[in-house]
Amino acid sequence: MNTGKQVNAMIGLLFLTLLIVGAYFVNESTRQEEALEEVTERNAERGARLYVQNCRGCHGHEGLGPEGDPAGFAPKLNSSAFLILNEHNEFGAKATSAGVAEGIRTFLVDTIACGRTNTLMPKWSLAFGGSLSDRQITNLVIMITNGRWDLVEREAEHVDEEAGLDEQGRREIIFSDSSALSLTQSNCGQFSIPDLVNFRSRDPFAGAGAAATPTPAAGTADGGGEAPTVQGVPVADFVNARCASCHGANREGITGLGLPLLPSVLDQPDDFYFEAIANGRPGTAMPSWLAAGLTEDQIRTLVEFIKTVEP
């Protein structure tokens, strides 16, 4: 063999080695991706099982809350607002940035672990007297942020079939009476109304997955002028965030829960409603909002809003 041929052979060998090494790494990263997907799938399945056992009574069979049939009274969790998208998501949308993803996870973990003061959302974390471990709460969050409501549906079908439930029996799983439930009294998590409004209205398919800016809900318009705010958000958004889970999304009332809060039915003097909001109605689910940190001025704003503004 002359030197030219030797060099050629060596270059050939080098290429072959590079090819093999390259193929190995490509393979390895798909292998890792597949393994990760498998772990996510298993955790989401565990989350789905926990959802069926613990959450559907209030949030609805498929997490659709008030939009479900039968309707749950607690907010919708089966929402694109809580989706965390990876690079190869099925929608072809931009991946959720790490910062936004972390924010969503923290919001969900805190809410589930700590519950919500003055609402019927219980504390679930073992650390706060609940029944779920950190691992279990994480699995619930994995199910929610991956939008795996198909797993919830499958699990529910299985559980309900084993229990021999018919359509009526399935309806009865959804709470329609709050009298047996108790208000969460204190909250261990960080929680602010503007954050809440932002998280709920986030659109992961718009732009870079940044949290949407809150759009003032319909009903704030009063012929121009600044809409009054409560705790940093327009009063309509506040009512939507803090009162809707008991009084209905359109303040129409929820049977067995809160009364309607519409100008047409609120025919008592302002003081009567001020009293109800400020001090709550002991013996019912209606909490004291003074105790929850609202000022008297803010409560007056709420009274004026529910007595004068149509939803």
Binding site for ligand HEC (CB under 6 A): 54-55, 57-59, 74-75, 77, 108, 111-112, 116, 118-122, 124, 140, 181, 183, 196, 200, 242-243, 245-247, 257-259, 261, 273, 276-277, 281, 284-286, 289, 302
Q: Which is nearer to ligand HEC, 149 or 289 (CB)?
A: 289
Measured from the CB of residue 241, what is the shortest distance to ligand HEC in angstroms? 6
Measured from the CB of residue 243, what is the shortest distance to ligand HEC in angstroms? 3
Q: Which is nearer to ligand HEC, 74 or 100 (CB)?
A: 74
Q: Which is nearer to ligand HEC, 85 or 196 (CB)?
A: 196
Measured from the CB of residue 183, what is the shortest distance to ligand HEC in angstroms? 6
Q: Which is nearer to ligand HEC, 87 or 188 (CB)?
A: 188
Q: Which is nearer to ligand HEC, 12 or 293 (CB)?
A: 293
Measured from the CB of residue 135, what is the shortest distance to ligand HEC in angstroms? 13
Measured from the CB of residue 51, what is the shortest distance to ligand HEC in angstroms? 6
Nearest CA among 175, 182, 222 for reference residue 61: 175
Q: Which is nearer to ligand HEC, 28 or 271 (CB)?
A: 271
Measured from the CB of residue 20, what is the shortest distance to ligand HEC in angstroms? 48
110: tokens are 């805190």
d(CA 114, CA 162) in angstroms, rounded, equals 32
CA end-to-end distance (rounded Å), the chain: 91
**CB 51, CB 143: distance < 8 Å:** yes
131: tokens are 């029944």
137: tokens are 């709460």
d(CA 30, CA 40) in angstroms, rounded, equals 15
d(CA 305, CA 250) in angstroms, rounded, equals 13
Measured from the CB of residue 72, what is the shortest distance to ligand HEC in angstroms? 8
Q: How many CB atoms lie within 10 A of CB 179?
A: 10
Q: Which is nearer to ligand HEC, 18 or 189 (CB)?
A: 189
277: tokens are 């909001």
Nearest CA among 296, 309, 180, 306 for reference residue 242: 306
Q: List the Cα angle 126/147/241 in 5-degree steps.
A: 65
